[in-house]
A and B are shown apart, each in its own frame.
Chain A
């Protein structure tokens, strides 16, 4: 570092501040740098979490702040775990999770594999395919209700065009049997590129020399795919599933705008149900218990999954 640069640096820092900072030990700097982040996260995440736990044992209602708050023990939890309707929303969530993950893994992996054929212009097309996942789910979800309209929507028109069915004979978001698929289709449209990008990184991390060695051993392409490609991409794929699984378990914005949980309760995922309990029925204590149960579920599933992921990586 030159003298001039040093002088410039010295001039840029006010003398008082410089002297103070010079006196700080590395340890002090580390803590000063980390403390604001930890503090903000404690205030906005951990404090509310503790508050939720406390509320979950009461009958508090946020729309009646002056009413007496009673401690009711674990009654909220008992009611939730024995409530049949909540199991139905859990089933709807499981259905949504299973199919979105399956479709996104299959299509995403296939796309990544095709893009990895390294044809000309693959970068450009990758960028185009990736666009939907960066957009606002609420705004896009709202527009999809227009695409799904039976009479005038593009989706029904396209389906009718290819299958010969009547455009008005089905309504993706009005029909109880079709609505769960309506949200799966939009989520898959949005998030397949996410899985694709991660798979692509996995495919690109496999060195050519492994395939060359396999070729020397006269392994068939089919065998190479199952014994080299798949195992080496698997940790990446599992990471993608972990991210998508957590995100889709929390799913709210897209589905609220698309179906609002209807028709009936067919697309009432847990987050939507929780929002109704907390901000429409104002059962704050009850929904706090509900929130804790959801949180424990996500956390539990995620940590089991991370363990499995690490095992795959070690192999």
Chain B
């Protein structure tokens, strides 16, 4: 069956399938390409009719994203434009920069909370997953189901008591509060995924290490952890993406100091109403890392999105 197999689709079938799939992929990418291109449009190009595909690229959106502006005073209008390229860009439109915008802070919050909660949930998840994978734990199946079931609760339903709890503990709008919350939400994913990865590591490796005089703990750190490194990395990326994208808790429990980017980006407005190039610029910077991670993760994607239920 080297050249012909009855289960192998014919050439014509392959062509038709390829054309349909590529058409779908192009359509599905359009909104994303539109976000990226709108970020480089001037405000008039962004709202032009018919929608502009070819346009003079402009960094206006990115400048607006990172700065706060007001209308120029008569003195500022008379004065020569500032030396910086972004100062000139703003000056031409009859505006003046008053300071940086909040975007930088919100983005930093996303990074701190994202990485903090990822580290914690992967750390705790690795320990729990190892125990579930290797030891006889009483009520194992019930505990695992309990861990998974915490993910089924609608976030808004849990948010009511968490809001009250955070208020009385002084955790409202703090990095620590959000890190702990996202860690708890991500634990179900990290325990289930990591248990799957660890189940795949043959026990013989550890047994050999134990015979060689390693303690249980050494066998875990020196033998199992290095073997599970890929799985741990994939799990970490999934946790990071979840924390990065999360919106419901962020919008209810943070308002300033610890607010992340998702609730902030939709509120970006310019001097004259909704500033779509700036929103698109913010969205581009925010979505790009996830796109890159998705491409890196493509081999483990299926596992991650099904909590390890489906493996390839």
Q: Which residues of A are at the interface with B, using a C-beta cutoff of 8 A?
A: 1, 5-6, 9, 13, 18, 21-22, 24, 26-27, 29-34, 36-38, 40-41, 43-49, 51-52, 55, 62, 111, 114-115, 117-123, 125-140, 142-144, 146-147, 151-154, 157, 167, 189, 193-194, 197-198, 201, 204, 208, 211-212, 215, 236, 239, 243, 246, 249-250, 252-253, 256-257, 270-271, 274-275, 278-279, 284, 287-288, 291-292, 294-295, 298-299, 302
A-contact bits for B54-71, CB 8 A (1 contact / 0 none): 000000000000000000
Which residues of chain A have C-beta atoms less than 8 A from B291's C-beta? 131, 134-135
- Report whether A24 and B216 are in contact in the complex, using a CB–CB cutoff of 8 Å: yes
- Report whether A40 and B7 are in contact in the complex, using a CB–CB cutoff of 8 Å: no
Which residues of chain A have C-beta atoms less than 8 A from B293's C-beta? 134
A-contact bits for B165-202, CB 8 A (1 contact / 0 none): 10000000000000011011101100100000000000
- Report whether B294 and A278 are in contact in the complex, using a CB–CB cutoff of 8 Å: no
Interface size in chain B (residues, C-beta < 8 A): 108
The contact sample of 18 A-B pairs, CB cut-off 8 A, is A29-B135, A48-B161, A62-B163, A128-B28, A131-B294, A135-B290, A138-B262, A139-B261, A139-B262, A146-B279, A154-B30, A154-B51, A193-B28, A194-B305, A256-B251, A257-B266, A274-B154, A295-B157
With A118-B14, A136-B287, A197-B305 given, is the CB distance from A48 to B162 under 8 Å? yes
Give the CA-CA distance A197 to B302 in the complex, in Å: 6
- B131 → chain A closest CB, angstroms: 4
- Report whether B301 and A197 are in contact in the complex, using a CB–CB cutoff of 8 Å: yes
Residue from A239, A291, A302 in contact with B156 in the complex, judged by beta carbons closer than 8 Å: A291
- Report whether A1 and B15 are in contact in the complex, using a CB–CB cutoff of 8 Å: no
B72 within 8 A of A: no
Which residues of chain A have C-beta atoms less than 8 A from B107's C-beta? none
Residue from B28, B184, B216 in contact with A189 in the complex, judged by beta carbons closer than 8 Å: B28
- Report whether A157 and B51 are in contact in the complex, using a CB–CB cutoff of 8 Å: yes
Interface of B: prevailing SS? helix
Which residues of chain A have C-beta atoms less than 8 A from B49's C-beta? 151-152, 157, 167
Interface of A: prevailing SS? helix
Residue from A6, A45, A51, A249 in contact with B213 in the complex, judged by beta carbons closer than 8 Å: A6
Q: Which of B77-85, B97-105, B144-152 interfaces with chain A?
A: B144-152
- Report whether B312 and A204 are in contact in the complex, using a CB–CB cutoff of 8 Å: yes
Which residues of chain A have C-beta atoms less than 8 A from B301's C-beta? 130, 197
Residue from A40, A129, A138, A157 in contact with B25 in the complex, judged by beta carbons closer than 8 Å: A129
- Report whether B302 and A40 are in contact in the complex, using a CB–CB cutoff of 8 Å: no
With A6-B213, A21-B215, A135-B290 given, is the CB distance from A152 to B247 under 8 Å? no
- Report whether B29 and A274 are in contact in the complex, using a CB–CB cutoff of 8 Å: no
Residue from A51, A130, A256 in contact with B294 in the complex, judged by beta carbons closer than 8 Å: A130
**Shortest Cβ distance from B14 into A: residue:** A119
B4 within 8 A of A: no
A-contact bits for B18-46, CB 8 A (1 contact / 0 none): 10111011001111101100100000001
A-contact bits for B130-143, CB 8 A (1 contact / 0 none): 11101111000001
B298 within 8 A of A: yes
- Report whether B143 and A34 are in contact in the complex, using a CB–CB cutoff of 8 Å: yes
Which residues of chain B have C-beta atoms less than 8 A from A201's C-beta? 302, 310, 312
**Shortest Cβ distance from A206 into B: residue:** B7
**Shortest Cβ distance from A292 into B: residue:** B157
Which of A44, A152, A294 has the most chain B CB atoms closer than 10 A to its own CB?
A44
B153 within 8 A of A: yes
Give the CA-CA distance A153 to B154 in the complex, in Å: 32
- A220 → chain B closest CB, angstroms: 13
Residue from A40, A43, A52 in contact with B160 in the complex, judged by beta carbons closer than 8 Å: A52
- Report whether B154 and A250 are in contact in the complex, using a CB–CB cutoff of 8 Å: yes
- B173 → chain A closest CB, angstroms: 14
Give the CA-CA distance A22 to B184 in the complex, in Å: 30
- B125 → chain A closest CB, angstroms: 7
- Report whether B35 and A143 are in contact in the complex, using a CB–CB cutoff of 8 Å: yes
- Report whether A37 and B187 are in contact in the complex, using a CB–CB cutoff of 8 Å: yes
Residue from B6, B184, B294 in contact with A44 in the complex, judged by beta carbons closer than 8 Å: B184
- Report whether A44 and B156 are in contact in the complex, using a CB–CB cutoff of 8 Å: no
B158 within 8 A of A: yes
Give the CA-CA distance A298 to B181 in the complex, in Å: 22
- Report whether B298 and A154 are in contact in the complex, using a CB–CB cutoff of 8 Å: no
With A41-B187, A127-B295, A212-B7 given, is the CB distance from A274 to B157 under 8 Å? yes
Give the CA-CA distance A117 to B252 in the complex, in Å: 46
**Shortest Cβ distance from A141 into B: residue:** B266
B124 within 8 A of A: yes
Give the CA-CA distance A30 to B152 in the complex, in Å: 26
- Report whether B25 and A125 are in contact in the complex, using a CB–CB cutoff of 8 Å: yes
- Report whether B135 and A249 are in contact in the complex, using a CB–CB cutoff of 8 Å: no
Which residues of chain B have C-beta atoms less than 8 A from A243's C-beta? 305-306
Give the CA-CA distance A226 to B128 in the complex, in Å: 43
B227 within 8 A of A: no
- Report whether B132 and A34 are in contact in the complex, using a CB–CB cutoff of 8 Å: yes
| 6 pairs of A and B residues whose beta carbons are closest in the complex | A291-B157, A48-B161, A44-B184, A1-B212, A117-B17, A138-B247
Give the CA-CA distance A127 to B293 in the complex, in Å: 11
